[in-house]
Amino acid sequence: MRKLVLGVAALCLTGMAAMAADDPIAIRKHIMDSVGAAAGLSGGMMKGEVPYSPAAGKSAIATMVAASAAYGSFFPEGTDKGDTTASPKIWEDAAGFQKALDKFAADAGSAMAASGKDGPADLDAFKAAMGPVFDNCKACHEAYRVKK
């Protein structure tokens, strides 16, 4: 299951990578849209607004894994200008940004490993797996995103 999910995600991200040569800002936004959708689903389940499903939990985690594997590739020099909320700090502190991306990837990978073959068995297991991933999202947004 994990190989299938990662394979499909890699295929989708490969298609995005081909487009990135033309517009890496747009690709960043599309990746963040997918992260936002996964976060919305996750939050809905965590709040009890959406019934918890192990398959849905696994899907949200897989989205985070795929995003964490690709996102950092779409910040070439010069893409700090234009229609973006990426903070100039990304380019000023490239090592710090990379460290944040590495932590996101590690925590998303740990969530995937903890989710097992069929997804986290129950809501508490899902919360435990996704908590560190969401902490990464918050920390990165606070440090590397321009607030509107």
CA-based nearest residue to 71, from 4, 137, 128, 126? 137
Beta bridge partners of 145: 86
Is the four-CA dihedral 136, 141, 65, 5 of positive or negative sign?
positive
12 labelled binding-site residue: no
Q: Does residue 82 come out as left (phi exceeding 0), alpha (psi in the -120 to 50 range) or beta?
A: left
* Sequence letter at residue 112: M
Residues at the annotated binding site?
137, 140-141
Binding-site members for heme c are 137, 140-141
